[in-house]
Structure 1
Amino acid sequence: MTPVWLEPMARWADFRRLKDAVHKNTRSVEIIGLSQSQKCHMLACMLYPLKRSCLYITSSHAEARRVQEDLLFFYPDNVVLFPEREVLLYNVAARSTEITEQRLRVLENLLLKRNMIVVASIEAVFMLQSSPQIFRNNIFSISVGDIVPLMQLAEKLVQMGYERVSSVEGKGQFSVRGGILDVFPLTSDNPYRIEFFDDEVDSIRVFDVSSQRSVKNEREATISPARELILTVEAVNRARDRINESYAKYTEERGGKSPRPLQEKVESVLEKLDEGIYDSSLEGFFSFLYPERSTLFDYLDESALIVLDEPARLRERGTGYGVELQEHFKELLEKGEVLPEQLYNAIDYHDFLIKVSEHTHLLMQALPTSHPDFRVSQSFNIAARSIPAYHGKLQLLAEDVGHWRKKGYSVLLLTGSKSRGEGLVSFLGDHGLEAVYKEQPDNEYMAPGRVMVMPGLLSGGFEYPGAGFALVSDREIYGSQKRRSRPAKKGRRFESFADLHIGDYVVHENHGIGKYLGIKTLVVDGQKRDYLDIKYAGTDRLYVPVDQLHLIQPYIGMGEGVPKLSKLGGAEWQRTKNRVRQSIQKLAIDLVKLYAVRQAIEGYRFSPDTEWQKQFEDIFPYQETPDQLQAIEEVKRDMESSKVMDRLLCGDVGYGKTEVAIRAAFKAVMDGKQVAVLAPTTILAQQHYNTFVERFENFPFTIQVLSRFKTPAEQREIIKALKTGGIDIIIGTHRLLGKDVKFKDLGLLVVDEEQRFGVSHKELIKDIKKNVDVLTLTATPIPRTLHMSLIGIRDISIIDTPPEDRYPVQTYVVEYNESLIRDAILREIQRGGQVYFVYNRVKSMDFMVQHIRRLVPEARIAMAHGQMSENLLESIMMDFYDHKYDVLVCSSIIENGLDIPNVNTLIVYNADRFGLSQLYQLRGRVGRSNRLAYAYFTYQKDKIISEQAEKRLQTIKQFTEFGSGFKIAMRDLEIRGAGNILGAEQHGHMTAVGYELYCKLLENTIRTMKGEELVQPVETVINIKVDAHIDRDYIAEESHKMEFYKKIAAINGLEDRSDIEDELVDRFGDMPASVENLIDIAYIKALARRIRITEISHQGREVRMRLADDKAISSKQLMLVLNENLNRLSYVSSPFPTFIIKLGDFLPDTALKAVKEILEKIVHHLERKDERI
């Protein structure tokens, strides 16, 4: 079926001639007269249906991304970006894998002959690759029934660049547990679980990284390399010989001397090659490993079409790039940091032309220019026009559509969303123009004179008079373009006990804070059991049975260092808990009172959404995330109710909180109310002002900003206009809280980062809150557990889905190197961007600024830190925001929510001195635009660092390469957020008892205040002598053992039990008897708790089950149970209510089975309502 965007073209003779020329493999075809989106459309039409691959080459990475975005409209599943690989000739400890993943995916698809359009910059196609033959030899498929020795497969994966771990959490990792291999191919969307029976593949399953559970069966899995450098034996041997030879020659030419940095680098690389260890620094020795000098061109079929976008620009960039590489390399060579042969990591422009000439190539350009590098066989000048921008003025669009219809054109109108599309069809209908909206259109509607509206994104529209075809994009219609949404990535959440390590601190509810020393297997009464070994103050030790794990939580404090160990048996812990309980009770009373007071106040009830509101929301240029839409709905619901809104909105910077506030503000001003937006700093106020002005551009509302950057006369004028209603939306700092500021009719207050205001300002905000709707924004995330605890006493909305248009930040953990710093800063400046250089020692910051000035004299450098006066700091930040400086040397103050999209390089000096959550937040300050961003976490090579800092550096490396430290960073941040929301006093109490126990106490207090009955749960002791533990032969990793002991201890019924059994078999294979017994005991405990049984004891041929009281079971239910089990079960009521089960033998296994059967029957009767009295 012909696509709607192709059918009108197929009727055009000029187009048919052009298509014939390309399909007949005319070697060099030139097309003149097309803009970017027109080039993409013309190419899409020529290639349809896609029966050959195509390489589209642009002059820059940014241009390549724009072309990819446009081509995706025509071929949603067949267009891929091939980004350039950054070759760092420095010692890199770790680098993020997103770019490697994209590149490998392209190479794999090309080798597997999948027809696709690859878009790449000229720099990306210049870079050398491993040869297609080596890559092809390392892509393999594995199927059910194949004979593959498991350990041989594991060795192969290591050679292919995979990292062996205990649990697969990210791409490029694999793990082996018994006869099960988990692997996450870099080019796959999902990891695979491959189960073996001896050497035969028994099953292949896809599993979910976050839950670690299998989700579906597969017959086959394809595994491709996890690195671009594949360390084959031949490549390693060749590289070792060639590096030695090159280094010997280099030193000989210098009289037997060699610079120390180069000597160390060569020794390090040779050592890694000898050990077969992949390291990012090996990429600088690419030419030593692979003398074939292969490039992306070598992965293409002979039939592949090459498209050269603006050949003159490609020539300029291609020759310029070669010169840049030479100059950069010469500089490093003079400093003694590289070997001469390391230069040959890329081809030059001459080689590029040879590669292009081997394929049919298409030269596309907007204007006619000469081509000294190409002999054009056929040239086509296409008559095409661009579409004017309508900026939301739909009347003008309707006039043009009417004009095109009269001329017999087929007209296609693209809207970024369904709501926009349906609204446009309705509007055109009201103006006598028949149009249809089709989500997935077919060609019958594209006859001449037809108008169709469909969803789709394109950077620009076009008109082909010869084809009688006009396409108008949403950018022209609305003045902004909806961004293409990308699927959000799933991450694995922090699992408390799975992340507990030896040496970590834990909290026992009854005994206090101790230090976890590991799992100890003890033999008690002849039976093996596992215990948590916990050290307390002095020489005290506590062995906690694993079935009492619910009494223990990891200690998570507020980052104030090492907690004090509790003394076993002392009263201090109980006093601490009581103190915290009393404080929590006071907090809860205050919160509940405040909430009740606000609920009782009659507020202004805002009107439902208007047509204008719908139009305003439609021109939002991004695709809303689901939780952003949820937050918008919650805010609007609050505003439309008669209660005064007091809602807290949590979400990281750039996650879309401001848009929620903007829509609330629009709703308020539509009802004639004024809106005040309060920000903690002048620069944040200015940032909000710019955003509001841009969003409200086409609507008749007055917006102003009030801060110290306004002159006294301007401030007086603004205050006067506020009082008379001349301003609809005012944005400002605490200046808005001044006594002289009066509103005519304030309806909504938006407070950004309330915790950053002073005490007196907070009191003034509290006064305003009494009768005005308030929306408070915070960039610090809060834990879901705390959110759930506060439901009913605090209205909270959470946005935790990152925006989908963000490009991944290319992250490096790297030795500090002056050449690297200069390169990184210069590259960013040359592309018009800015740099954050984070240096956390205020005393010597001046020295660092001078140091960077010497390194990069071309850069304009400013300095900012928290010890400056507020006015000076704000002035510097404002100048940096206005791009008066290129580099900002600053302390970690940039963590605090400043959004400057033009800053796309971050350098952190001595990253090992920062916490992981700090680094996570710092990295979030870059990559805020759709431009590739870089983060360099540097460390000093020869500095002796503490064990804690080394551990942190290791975690940063894992975080960088696999994102696996993310969950720890998030937990760290969330706890900080909890402290912000609950206040400074509670912050101290969280530190005293640990965050998790604090949350538990808070939840219980709030439930009590809500009138819920808290029944003290019964603890059941089971004395049946069976082996019940997890053996090392079944689960070797202690962290996994802990995870399952916790899960088993939390069994609450048959569904939980089945779930855990399924997961264990899925992840570790068939369960041994000791694990089955452990699960049986946990299940029995869950049943026993419901009947309030405190003890189950096996003695000879009977089992006694003692009850705490007889509250759980009625006399009628008791009689029914006893009658059902006449010969097996009896009951005595004194001295304690007790069930007695008679057994046929003495065996503990028999006792366990009998107890389970009887308890299931008793619980069954308890659940039958008709049996209750």
Structure 2
Amino acid sequence: MIEANFYDYLQQKEPPQILVVENDKEAQTAKAVAKILGFDTVVLPDFRATFGEDLRSWKEELFELNSALKEYYQKNIQNLLLIVPFHTLIYLLPKPELLDTFSISFGDDIDLENLKNRLYAWGYSFVDVVETKGEVSIRGDIIDIFSPNANNPWRISLFDTEVESIRTFEVENQKSNKNEEIEEIMIAPALFSFSTEQFEALQKKVEASDSDVFVKDVASLGFWYLDELSHDLMAGKRAVAIKNLQDEIVFAYEHAKNALPKERFNLEVIPETKRAKVIEPINVDLLTENYPERELVIVAESDALVRRSPIKELARATIVKTDGVVNLLTPDKIIVSLNKPFKKRVVKRPTILLDDLKPGDYVVHESYGVGIFKGIEPHQVLGAMRDFVHITYQNDDTLLLPVENLDMIDRYIAEGGSLPVLDRLGKGGFGKLKAKVKDRLFAIASEIVNMSAKRLLMKGAVIKTDIPELMQFREAAGFEYTPDQIKAVEEIFADLSSGRVMDRLLSGDVGFGKTEVAMNAILAVVKSGYQSAFVVPTTLLSSQHFKSVRDRLDPFGVRVDKLDRFTTAKQKKRILEELEKGELDVVIGTHALLGATFKNLGLVIIDEEHKFGVKQKEALKQMSVNVHLLSMSATPIPRSLNMALSKIKGYSELRTPPVERKGVRTFVKSFDETVVKEAIMRELRRGGQLFYVYNSIAGIESKKEELLEILPDLRILILHSKITAVQTEKEILKFEAGQYDLLLSTSIIESGIHMPKVNTMIVDGADRFGMADLHQLRGRVGRGKLEGYCYFLVENKDALSEQAKRRLIALESNSFLGSGAVLAYHDLEIRGGGNLIGESQSGHIKQIGYALYLKMLEDAIRALSQESAPERKRVDIKLSITAYISEELVSHDRVRLELYRRLSSCESVHDVIEIEQEIEDRFGKPDLPTRQFLDLVTIKVLAQQKGVERISNYNEHITIQYNEENKTTCKARSRDDDDLIATVLEELRK
């Protein structure tokens, strides 16, 4: 309702100068409403640091706040509306003079000493290698600087003291952009633009404070002690609140030392309105028919959204370009938003990593088999230019595949780097091979289907999933579930209440909330009168899960215990008796609980199944033979993936990172004491702790000595599997309490350890680990709100094997959240499919490649389960229009290929719009051929949805063919590209 109230208020009353909202989401909505009514706005971010907190932890948010404040101070115009989340206003904010910038231009004379002093006073960190905003590195006549107001860092080259060139460079590979020369750059402060005197005075104030931060300096505490350099943003301004913020105020002021007085927020609250109302615009055309006299206003963040909207009345609509979602019916307007609701971007998993598809790579075409990818080439067809994928086969035969059908090929992935044999075009050899593999696949598939059928015939415990405790449990989480978590819980509940035995795989990247989802299932099972067993591969993981499950389920009367090597013989005897009598609801443990007898077992949860040995897997199978089974994994092993993709196991996937989760920055470096020292110091400066993984029990003590030589005051805890269980548990608790700075251990911390204060990890000898292991290790950091850093150190980069190099490069280039599943594919290629999928199957994978093998296995299982496969209609588009992503717009072949690949897999018009918006953002407005290619993809998507087989034209005559008998013809106004496109789109949208 807030948008309706605010809209009506702005129309009735004198507009305020400041609008106070609750959070970022409300700020976006208010901004859109103001924009519709012609007000210029500045939105400050939601800055929730509390007094005395180390600001290094809030660096990104502070950059954002400073940038928005500077924009506000500079605008100084009449009807400017400042929209501010309440938390940002609690403290005094910096005055305009603290947000100055200075310029460096080509040809300037630089006094290096002065520059260093200025950057130091402005809060820059001096480092060897510039990686994040607010860092500077000066190496002789090269200055690297990453200013908070820039998207990329700059490299300034000096000739003596004169600026010879300014270029941007990539953080990932540290290479500068040679094709770009910048005339002038504006450098913003990393903290504030202090003079040296102001900086020194503030440093004294900070040192005298009673703060308990690790390093008392301006960078960590300066914001809190600005005093006369700050001011109350609301002073002398008319401020109103979008709604009553009383609850927020009470909550926020529990920690708000040095805050503005509470009375400051006794603001006028915008009243409720009856004149405007929020609508759900399912059918906009119907609305405009019912209210023809009202003005139609369309809110969209880009032209692409408007261009692809099916609304008939577009021509008479007023377009307002802004983000935010506002759908209102007012006495004189119909306001409709085409934007998606404000939410975090979901990282979608590609089937192959396109960055790796290079000319010379082997690919598999689903009809023609294995060939060599040669790149993208333009060709003229029907008098128009189009791009094609060039693939060569035996005897240098060539296949040209239109780029919009790029989804028909996959990169060839097989066992440990073995090379495939090229297929021959037109000989039908690949068809015969596919038929042979298909027979073998049917045997494998029928085995899987029979196992599944047996489970389906078993009657499972019917679990009640509509009990009030489940709602209360979710509300008590203290955070909002991601859409994926909600969906996974619903899917699990559907299985549990179906009366059949559940067999579901829950896959999700490390720290995406799998345990939280599993606890919903445990609670439902226990409240329905059954017991649950939670089996994990390591003792550390069992104590971690035990703690979180007990803390979350205890308030609901669930009795939880754990059984592992920390359990004494006496405790073990008691637990086993309680399980047999049914006095214990949930037991969490390692394989120690595999022989236990339960009174009424209803659910078995297995975490990281691939970590168990063969005998343990058999025991797990026996244990879960007729009870509900939930397997969890961060890197799905291909066999489970096969089952999951083929609908034999239920499959739920968590792909959305928790709202406050950031990626883990990953760096692969040669071992160097400077790197180690800088990584440790950076983490300690922001008040955190570190993991140092060194996988050799024999050498771990001397590694400790080595670290103490670099940093003598470091408090180091050593852990490995030879240390007794009791000792390990005691020491871990001390580490969690902050009595140590660094945990030096073997890879035993790999699984599931959850310590939000640990946000930097150093892996020494990273080349000696498997890929999935490194990804799991990296998932131990960056689990709180802070960005995690992970350093993979190798002794000698040059001496690495090709496999080790590829493994590390894959990890470095996939540090984004949600890359676990992508890495599982890489792992498959690098370690080889054989050992993961079973020897009997690896031969087939070698012949046809993993991706096609998986598709065929899926089809075989579908056929045996008598489940109709979803038809992927191929559309043959033969239109004489010039359509390709032009090199002028996107100059790198690799990037164009990636865009082509993603566009070829689009399943809805909205997918196409999203990519069009991204192209505009990254490369500028699409030119004519690019825009026409996007139209071509839209035509393909709509045609697939309508079951069209072929679209062609002869001059202005267009034929749309559904099958042999059924086709329609239409005529464009002319044979021009835009007329042909418009006519086809109009026809398909009917």
- TM-score tier (shorter): 0.5 to 0.7
* Matches of 1:1085 and 1:608, distance apart in 2: 39
Q: Please, which runs of 5 or more residues in structure 1 have no aligned partner?
A: 1-48, 54-74, 88-94, 136-229, 247-261, 283-288, 300-307, 326-344, 363-438, 447-452, 472-484, 1129-1146, 1168-1173
Q: 1:315 aligns with which of 187, 209, 217?
A: 209
Aligned counterpart, 1:266: 140
Aligned residues: 792
Q: Which amino acid aligns with 1:237?
A: I
Say if 1:780 and 1:111 are closer, same or farther in 2 by CA, change over 3 A: farther
* Deviations 1:901-932 (CA, angstroms, capped at 9, x unpaired): 34222124577998998766544311223456
Residue 972 of structure 2 is aligned to residue 972 of structure 1: no
* Matches of 2:872 and 2:448, distance apart in 1: 27
Residue 167 of structure 2 is aligned to residue 296 of structure 1: no
* Deviations 1:601-623 (CA, angstroms, capped at 9, x unpaired): 22222345444454444433332
Q: 1:882 aligns with which of 715, 728, 733?
A: 733
* Deviations 1:636-658 (CA, angstroms, capped at 9, x unpaired): 33333322222222222332222
* Matches of 1:692 and 1:1079, distance apart in 2: 52
Aligned counterpart, 2:677: 822
Say if 1:1009 and 1:101 are closer, same or farther in 2 by CA, change over 3 A: farther
SS at match of 2:143: helix
Say if 1:1070 and 1:264 are closer, same or farther in 2 by CA, change over 3 A: closer
8 Å Cα contact 1:1051-1:1086 kept in structure 2: no
Aligned counterpart, 1:568: 424
Shift of 1:745: 1.9
Q: 2:99 aligns with which of 132, 139, 164?
A: 132
Aligned counterpart, 1:997: 852
Say if 1:532 and 1:900 are closer, same or farther in 2 by CA, change over 3 A: same
Shift of 1:852: 1.8
Aligned counterpart, 1:729: 586
* Matches of 2:465 and 2:220, distance apart in 1: 62
Aligned counterpart, 1:906: 761
8 Å Cα contact 1:748-1:773 kept in structure 2: yes
8 Å Cα contact 1:547-1:1082 kept in structure 2: no
Shift of 1:276: 1.2
Q: 1:652 aligns with which of 486, 498, 509?
A: 509
Aligned counterpart, 1:594: 451
* Deviations 1:388-421 (CA, angstroms, capped at 9, x unpaired): xxxxxxxxxxxxxxxxxxxxxxxxxxxxxxxxxx
Say if 1:488 and 1:278 are closer, same or farther in 2 by CA, change over 3 A: same
Q: Please, which runs of 5 or more residues in structure 2 have no aligned partner?
A: 1-15, 21-42, 77-81, 120-135, 145-154, 159-164, 176-184, 196-201, 234-240, 257-261, 267-340
Say if 1:523 and 1:803 are closer, same or farther in 2 by CA, change over 3 A: closer
SS at match of 1:802: coil
Alignment of 1:578-977 (within 5 A): 578=435, 580-738=437-595, 741-780=596-635, 790=645, 792-806=647-661, 817-822=672-677, 824-825=679-680, 828=683, 833-839=688-694, 848-861=703-716, 878=729, 881-883=732-734, 886-889=741-744, 894-909=749-764, 921-930=776-785, 933-936=788-791, 970-973=821-824
Shift of 1:521: 4.0
Aligned counterpart, 1:542: 398
Alignment of 1:147-166 (within 5 A): none
Say if 1:706 and 1:1075 are closer, same or farther in 2 by CA, change over 3 A: closer
* Matches of 1:921 and 1:619, distance apart in 2: 28
8 Å Cα contact 1:808-1:932 kept in structure 2: yes
Say if 1:356 and 1:958 are closer, same or farther in 2 by CA, change over 3 A: farther
Say if 1:612 and 1:293 are closer, same or farther in 2 by CA, change over 3 A: closer
TM-score, with length taken from structure 1:
0.54
Aligned counterpart, 1:28: none
Aligned counterpart, 2:928: 1071
8 Å Cα contact 1:787-1:796 kept in structure 2: no
SS at match of 1:1008: helix
* Matches of 2:664 and 2:709, distance apart in 1: 27
* Matches of 1:892 and 1:513, distance apart in 2: 39
* Matches of 1:817 and 1:749, distance apart in 2: 46
* Matches of 1:605 and 1:544, distance apart in 2: 55
Which segment drifts farther, 727-736 or 1015-1024? 1015-1024
* Matches of 1:812 and 1:130, distance apart in 2: 37
Say if 1:633 and 1:731 are closer, same or farther in 2 by CA, change over 3 A: same
Q: 1:494 aligns with which of 350, 361, 365?
A: 350
* Deviations 1:225-253 (CA, angstroms, capped at 9, x unpaired): xxxxx64458773449967999xxxxxxx
8 Å Cα contact 2:365-2:409 kept in structure 1: yes
Alignment of 1:373-392 (within 5 A): none
* Matches of 1:1049 and 1:52, distance apart in 2: 44
* Matches of 1:321 and 1:347, distance apart in 2: 7
SS at match of 1:709: coil
SS at match of 1:770: coil
SS at match of 2:101: helix
Q: Which amino acid aligns with 2:192?
A: L
SS at match of 1:677: strand
8 Å Cα contact 2:359-2:373 kept in structure 1: yes
8 Å Cα contact 1:646-1:774 kept in structure 2: yes
Shift of 1:706: 1.3
- Root-mean-square deviation (CA), in Å? 6.6
* Matches of 1:604 and 1:571, distance apart in 2: 51
8 Å Cα contact 1:1020-1:1085 kept in structure 2: no
Say if 1:486 and 1:785 are closer, same or farther in 2 by CA, change over 3 A: farther
Shift of 1:708: 2.1
* Deviations 1:1059-1100 (CA, angstroms, capped at 9, x unpaired): 99999999754535996899599879979997878x9999xx
Aligned counterpart, 1:58: none
Say if 1:507 and 1:313 are closer, same or farther in 2 by CA, change over 3 A: same
SS at match of 2:398: strand
Q: Which amino acid aligns with 2:534?
A: V
SS at match of 2:756: coil
Say if 1:625 and 1:458 are closer, same or farther in 2 by CA, change over 3 A: farther
* Matches of 2:367 and 2:532, distance apart in 1: 51
8 Å Cα contact 1:1051-1:1082 kept in structure 2: no
8 Å Cα contact 1:1018-1:1089 kept in structure 2: no
Shift of 1:695: 2.0
8 Å Cα contact 1:719-1:742 kept in structure 2: yes
8 Å Cα contact 1:678-1:752 kept in structure 2: yes
* Deviations 1:1137-1161 (CA, angstroms, capped at 9, x unpaired): xxxxxxxxxx9x7999999999999
Aligned counterpart, 1:508: 365
Say if 1:1046 and 1:1068 are closer, same or farther in 2 by CA, change over 3 A: farther
TM-score, with length taken from structure 2:
0.62
Say if 1:458 and 1:895 are closer, same or farther in 2 by CA, change over 3 A: same
Say if 1:727 and 1:1072 are closer, same or farther in 2 by CA, change over 3 A: closer
Shift of 1:828: 4.8
Q: Which amino acid aligns with 1:717?
A: R
8 Å Cα contact 1:533-1:541 kept in structure 2: no
* Matches of 1:873 and 1:564, distance apart in 2: 50
Q: Which amino acid aligns with 1:679?
A: V
Say if 1:1087 and 1:551 are closer, same or farther in 2 by CA, change over 3 A: closer
8 Å Cα contact 1:789-1:1002 kept in structure 2: no
Shift of 1:1030: 6.3
Say if 1:1014 and 1:1086 are closer, same or farther in 2 by CA, change over 3 A: same
8 Å Cα contact 1:546-1:1045 kept in structure 2: no
